[in-house]
Amino acid sequence: MAAMSKILGCQYKQSPNLKKYRLDGWFHNGSDSDSRGDMVGWAECKWYGDGKKAFCALNVPKYMEILHLSQTTMLPSYFIFREEGRFGYIIVHDGVMHRAKFKVCQTGGTAKGRTPNPDDIEPLIMFDKSEIIWGK
């Protein structure tokens, strides 16, 4: 979120709500010392390490949440991800309309070394990788 806030020319706040179907954070134009200010947009983030490539997917409830926030507030929403050594983002909604191409698939999996959950394979919004804007 720090890298994306530089691109947007604003500050960011990571959500203190760590429940599964809640957004990771948002962008605002407040200062470092005072986080009050006008909102700039919404963010969902995924980090990929160990040479893994971005899996450009959100579960349907998370997608619906970010979409609803953009439609209600007329602020853009971003799906931000980090691969080893770089980050990218997809503009999910620009505050007026859907921006990113996607399809809906039942897919997913369990990360190596993690105990499988019953919902590891689920309906996912799969974004077209051509939608990725790579940052520096």
Residue 6's contacts (CB-CB under 8 Å, 6 or more residues apart) are none
Strand, helix or coil for residue 103: strand
One-letter amino acid of 24: D
DSSP assigned state of 84:
T
Residue range of the domain that includes 14: 2-100
CA–CA separation, 67 and 73 (whole Å): 10
Which domain CATH number covers 90? 3.40.1350.10
Q: pLDDT (tens digit, 9 = 90+) per residue, 42-71?
A: 999 888 766 677 778 898 988 999 999 999
Domain count, the chain: 1
Scan for tokens 């691109």, then name that residue.
7
Which of 7, 80, 4 is closest to 48 using CA atoms?
A: 80
Q: Is 105 contained in some domain? A: no
Q: Is 71 contained in some domain? A: yes
Q: pLDDT (tens digit, 9 = 90+) per residue, 14-29?
A: 887 666 557 889 999 9
Q: Is 59 contained in some domain? A: yes
